[in-house]
Amino acid sequence: MKNKKILVTGADGFIGSHLTEILVNMDAEVTALSQYNSFNYWGNLEDLPNLDEVKVVSGDIRDAAFCRNIIKDQDIVFNLAALIAIPYSYIAPDAYIDTNVKGALNVAQAAREHGTERVIQISTSEVYGTACYVPIDEKHPLQPQSPYSASKIGADNIAMSFFHAFEVPITIARPFNTYGPRQSARAVIPTIISQIAAGMEEVMLGDLTATRDFNYVTDTCRGLIALAQSEKTIGEVVNIGSNYEISISDVFNKINKIMKKNAIVKQDPKRIRPQGSEVFRLWCDNTKIKELCGFTPEFDIDKGLEKTIEWFLDSKNLSKYKQGIYNV
């Protein structure tokens, strides 16, 4: 990555900010796209210790002309810009199509026009829906169980069509559930940690029986970079995961134990997905990324949770979370 000109869209988000930080530490020339707002606020980028080495650009992935402008002269594009909250996709599905599908199209069009060296289109394990078989490999059927997952299936297919039709060097990266510092409370792990850290004895959650393949954010970013560094991944869909399955209930118990608390769970009806939309089981088969890139995760769930909890216990970080509000 040294001296490569790299654009990270969605850099102001959770994974994007970590990816930006890691790439700068690898001596890449990073341009970070933050969604435009009149406050000149750059989201999670504000917390980067090496922000002065990042070129931050404000704009909107939905604007095709803007995408053509920022992608010009870039060697690699990591497209993380997306709306990702599943509950909000029930409320505003149009916004998910505009941002996720049209955004992927704009990036692919601009990369084709400028002859970009590599494009990594970030997908999600949600496109698989509830597992038909486990572990889930890249040949697993795609099941649009929410407007969000449908929009990401569309984005993946738009991106891949540019590989087949125009030979744009695109890779679809499909991370399973990522967690770690800076993640919003719309995700379950920061929801649990932030409530317990705030002294709440009853933690409000949704379905506890669902299982996930959780991955510490540094591992997800390392996986994305490994995909960009390998010629073998061009035109491929590749999972990023740990090949380890755990229930939400067991994650809650682990966090309770690490934090040395005795909190209990109270189920909040607002946090329950519609029956046909709940993804009850996700378990990653990570064979392909191992074979193509030699990539393996470094963090197990216990080590990752310990580092995440440590970050949340810093009062400066915890103060950013509103524990009494369901974060859609």
C-alpha radius of gyration, the chain, whole number: 19
Clarify whether residues 249 and 146 are in a common domain: no
- Residue 326 domain-assigned (yes or no): no
Clarify whether residues 12 and 135 are in a common domain: yes
Residue 62 DSSP label: T
- Residue 110 domain-assigned (yes or no): yes
Q: Which residue has the tokens 């594009």?
A: 77
3-state helix, strand, coil in the chain (%, to 5): 45, 15, 40
- Residue 323 domain-assigned (yes or no): no
pTM for this entry: 0.96
Clarify whether residues 112 and 189 are in a common domain: no
Clarify whether residues 82 and 111 are in a common domain: yes
Question: What are the tens digits of pLDDT across the range 40-66?
Answer: 999 999 999 999 999 999 999 999 999
Clarify whether residues 128 and 203 are in a common domain: no
Give the domain range for residue 308: 180-212+244-282+299-318
Clarify whether residues 164 and 249 are in a common domain: no
Residue 325 banded pLDDT, cuts 50, 70, 90: confident
Clarify whether residues 153 and 270 are in a common domain: no
Clarify whether residues 128 and 189 are in a common domain: no
Beta strand ranges found along 46-147 (DSSP E): 55-59, 76-79, 118-122
Question: What are the tens digits of pLDDT across the range 116-151?
Answer: 999 999 999 999 999 999 999 999 999 999 999 999
List Cβ neighbours of 243 (8 Å cut-off, separation of 6 or more).
135, 213, 283, 284, 285, 286
Question: What are the tens digits of pLDDT across the range 188-237?
Answer: 999 999 999 999 999 999 889 999 999 999 999 999 999 999 999 999 99
How many domains are there within the chain? 2
Clarify whether residues 10 and 51 are in a common domain: yes
Strand bridging mode 237-240 / 170-175 = parallel
Using CA atoms, how far residue 251 sits from 205, 214, 287, 298, in Å, is 12, 10, 24, 19
Give the helix/strand (H/E) hosting 209.
none
